[in-house]
Chain A
Amino acid sequence: MAIYSLKETKQPPQSQTKAVLWLKDNLFSSSSNIALTFVALYLIYLLLPPILNWTIFDANFDLTADNESCGREGACWSFINANLKMFIYGFYPQEELWRVNTMFGIIVALVAFGSFIKKSQYRAHYIIGSFLIYPVVAFVLLYGGLGLEIVETDKWGGLTLTIVVAAVGIVASFPLGILFALGRQSKMRIVRFISVVYIEFVRGVPLITILFMASVVLPLFFSAGMDFDKLLRALIGITLFQTAYIAEVVRGGLQAISKGQYEAADAAGLSFMQKTVLIILPQALKVSIPNIVGSFIALFKDTTLVLIIGLFDMLAIVGAATSNSSWLGRESEGYVFVAMVIWVILYSMSRYSKKLEVKFSTEHKN
């Protein structure tokens, strides 16, 4: 028989600094890894200097320069400056731009106020109310009516159009996607059948096809005289497309919910609706956040495809701006700029999703 005394807790031994350890673990852990590290370093050596030279060191930052005086050695950033309004607003009439700004301003205000009343018991009402009322306000501001001059949708463009298409796609597809996800899990055969057919059909077809169909086929269903707005067609097409993907993502979340949760909700006497809304969906949506945001990011990128059916989103504006004779040959600047803007937006989305994940994971770890 032996009795042992309790040992003291000690710090782990540290022979090397953290940086060296990190290098060893991540870059030089095996011979193939070492080779890859050197290949990567060589590629960086090849690519980085020309990129930096073009965008920064040889570039002309004189924002008043025109196409001639700008030079051809590096980027000519005055091109962006000169066309900035077009990049942001498309062909929206000059004197009405305040309406677009107001629309964006209201969003910022809504979000700011929302985070200000985080603790309030009326926060849910506020969020739902915003989602119901804001689209109407935004539509009136952008399109006109109620005393505002009508601005036809073919004048909309640039970042504004990109955001409108993405936002409508996201906001409309989210509830629809949830319905189809629930439909696919339904005990009712017909509901399940319709959901499966819809989801599998849409997922098996590229977005371009759907956009073409929305733009060419959809009008056939309506009476001849009825003019069907091009943007509306694109919005419907994108929403239908995104719905199927959200449905699959949410279904993944639904499947992660254990049977015990359903049973506990049933045993407590909750109705089907109560069980779904109070117990199942909150958990399913939480687990699916990364995938939902991932799918929204994909959608945001896909919105650039609307240029195929003749809408001028931010990417299409590059072509429009460089076909202007005074800015010929500045596509590179345009595409780099658009890429940067889109990257900033998407990276923020993905950081935000990380934040949400961390926040929820403290509450919910099953």
Chain B
Amino acid sequence: MSNTTDDRLCCDIIDIKGLNKWYGDFHALKEINLKVKEGEIIVVCGPSGSGKSTLIRCVNFLEKFQEGSIIVDGIELSDDVKKIRQVRSEVSMVFQHFNLFPHLSVIDNLTLAPIWVHHESKQEAREKALQLLDRVGIKDQAEKYPNQLSGGQQQRVAIARALCTSPKIMLFDEPTSALDPEMISEVLDVMVELAKEGITMICVTHEMGFAKKVADRIIFMDEGQIIEENKPDSFFNSPESDRLKLFLDQILSQ
């Protein structure tokens, strides 16, 4: 299994060592070790319940873990609220169910964190937000409320919201799983564009087309552990473990 570096990939921005997590007695993550370089695009896949969402949710401490360490951009995650907020101000997340704030208009959804967490002026935040909405192709919906938009539009708003704080790392937690089939591509297109720009991304997704196109590395998880990781080419063409072969069979035969 190679862990080779591109030229543009330089330093580890995320360093996960010996990570173990339990839900009660259930061992959800087992001895995870993972390094992510700055600018790297990682796709995490695996059957449901394999711990992939849990893993990325540990990175911004939405999930607590009992053993191991996670260092994000030089900050080690612990119960220290200050450090957690520091990490969260550099790491943005896009959720499966969008989780937009329904009582705020689209533009207010975008400017909330810049204004309250990053202390930008209203004007500044607004301008940046409009630019981002333009980039994801829904500038004209800025004054609407999330529930007035389609699922695909909502997810694009969520991506714009995540980008609004100029994060170093983007976490995607199954961003297309809750979408109607005809809306998946509009969200993936935005993500592909994003991947080209050199932002560090970890995506939990079943969209193998997306993985082939943009991933630097694909990680396959099952039963709370990393089973196999490889570059897209080798990952799809020469899978080694039986579990991955089975998984690929199932997911690609659709």
Contacts and interface: CB of A to CB of B under 8 A. Distances in A.
B60 A364 contact: no
Nearest to B88: A269
Taking chain B's interface residues, is the majority helix, strand, or loop, or is none over half, making it mixed? loop
A263 B85 contact: no
Contact of A267 (B62, B102, B145, B147): B62
A366 B85 CA distance: 27
A279 B92 CA distance: 17
Contact of A266 (B62, B101, B102, B116): B62
B103 A283 contact: yes
B101 A264 contact: yes
A271 interface: yes
B99 A274 contact: no
A278 B116 CA distance: 10
Contact of B99 (A260, A363, A364): A260
A366 B147 CA distance: 8
Nearest to A281: B103
A263 B117 CA distance: 15
Interface residue range, chain B: 20 to 34
B231 to A, nearest CB: 29
Given A260-B99, A365-B102, A365-B147, A267 B93 contact: yes
Given A263-B62, A278-B112, A363 B103 contact: yes
B117 A269 contact: yes
A47 interface: no
Interface string B62-99: 10000000000000000000000100110111010101
Contacts of B165: 268-269
Contacts of A363: 102-103, 145, 147
B113 interface: yes
A228 to B, nearest CB: 43
A286 interface: yes
A286 B104 CA distance: 13
Contacts of A274: 116-117
A269 B85 contact: yes
A264 B99 contact: yes
B13 interface: no
A260 B174 CA distance: 14
A82 to B, nearest CB: 52
A310 interface: no
A264 B95 contact: yes
A261 interface: yes
A287 B167 CA distance: 33
A271 B85 contact: yes
Interface in B157-194: 161, 165
Contact of A279 (B97, B101, B145): B101
A363 B104 CA distance: 8
10 smallest beta-carbon distances between A and B, as pairs: A264-B99, A269-B88, A260-B99, A268-B113, A267-B93, A269-B89, A269-B117, A366-B102, A365-B147, A364-B102
25 contacts: A260-B97, A263-B93, A263-B99, A264-B95, A265-B101, A267-B60, A267-B91, A267-B92, A267-B93, A267-B95, A268-B92, A269-B89, A269-B113, A269-B117, A270-B112, A270-B113, A270-B116, A270-B117, A274-B116, A278-B116, A283-B102, A363-B145, A363-B147, A364-B147, A365-B147
Interface of A: 258, 260-261, 263-271, 274, 278-279, 282-283, 286, 362-366
Interface of B: 60, 62, 85, 88-89, 91-93, 95, 97, 99-103, 112-113, 116-117, 145, 147, 161, 165
Given A260-B97, A266-B88, A364-B147, 4 more contacts: A261-B101, A266-B62, A363-B145, A364-B145
